[in-house]
Structure 1
Amino acid sequence: MTTQLDRIQVTGIRAFGYHGVFAEERRDGQEFRADVTLWLDTRPAAASDDVADTVHYGEVSEAVAAVLGGEPVDLVETLSQRVADAVLAFDGVQRVTVTVHKPDAPITVPFDDVTITITRDRA
């Protein structure tokens, strides 16, 4: 029998980072945002009403922000993977969906946002 997984979502986590291919992105930096959906079984926490029996979304948010503002990478694909790895390091998280937003990407035409969304499973 397969356990049904529940979802915890945190949207709009923000941090200033120096990611990008271009020298000015690495020099000047920009704000990055992330939305994360954690897939886990919340029944133990619901039964105990104890945060120790779930994933603390505040701690997850801090870990995501640390990646967004951390070691620079060229690609948002790499940044997204690093966010996913950080979230999957939390006990209980079985799957994560990560959307990284780069709203100030160096694009020469009007646009609202650049995003990449990935889903990774604990393996």
Structure 2
Amino acid sequence: MDYIHVRDMQFYGYHGVLGEETKLGQRFRATVSLAVQIEEAGKTDDLTKTVSYVGVYELCKAIIEGKPYQLIEAVAEAVATRILTDYDGQVLGCRVEIIKPDPPIPGYYKEVAVEITRGQFV
């Protein structure tokens, strides 16, 4: 199994349960890992034999900067579902991590995050 990673993408969205989250918005970070077979792309240097990083970035941007969700779990699920649908046959599985670096939680912590894995990912 081969993997493509698009790491630490940054977006601004309006996801959350609290009023200030949906009104003011906040930063979100995302990392996506794709389980793929890209040996042929490596041997032929042919873009059509792999998954476009630009396409994955734009897909994540559309979801994270788009329709608000209450939970980052739902954001991660939307990203994973769309990747597996849009790249059916090319992406065998994916791992999606959505990070909320500044949630309105009193206390000291670095960030909160969810990570999900869908499809074949070993």
User: What is the identity, as a one-letter code, of the residue corresponding to 2:93?
Assistant: R
Q: How many angstroms apart in 1 are the aligned matches of 2:4 and 2:82?
A: 15
Choose the corresponding residue for 2:62, options 40, 61, 66: 66
Runs ≥4 residues deviating over 4 A: none
Residue 55 (structure 1) aligned with residue 63 (structure 2): no
Give the aligned partner of residue 16 of structure 1: 12
State the distance in 1 between where 2:103 and 2:71 align.
Answer: 11
Alignment of 1:32-111 (within 5 A): 32-88=28-84, 89-91=86-88, 92-111=90-109
Q: Is the 8 A contact 1:21 1:75 kept in 2?
A: yes
Deviation digits for residues 76-121 of structure 1, max 9, x if unmatched? Answer: 1101101111221224001000110001111111111101000001
Taking the aligned partners of 1:52 and 1:7, their CA distance within structure 2 comes to 16
> Offset of 1:23 from its aligned partner?
1.0
C-alpha displacement of 1:26? 0.5
SS at match of 1:82: helix
Residue in structure 2 matched with residue 31 of structure 1 by the alignment: 27
**Does the 8 Å contact 1:15/1:68 carry over to 2?**
yes
For 1:67 and 1:39, locate their aligned partners in 2 and report how far apart those are by CA, in whole Å: 21
Q: TM-score, normalised by structure 2?
A: 0.92
Q: Which amino acid aligns with 2:112?
A: V
Structure 1 alignment gaps of length 5 or more: none
Q: Deviations over 1:59-84 (max 9, x none)?
A: 11111111111100000110110111
Give the total of aligned pairs. 118
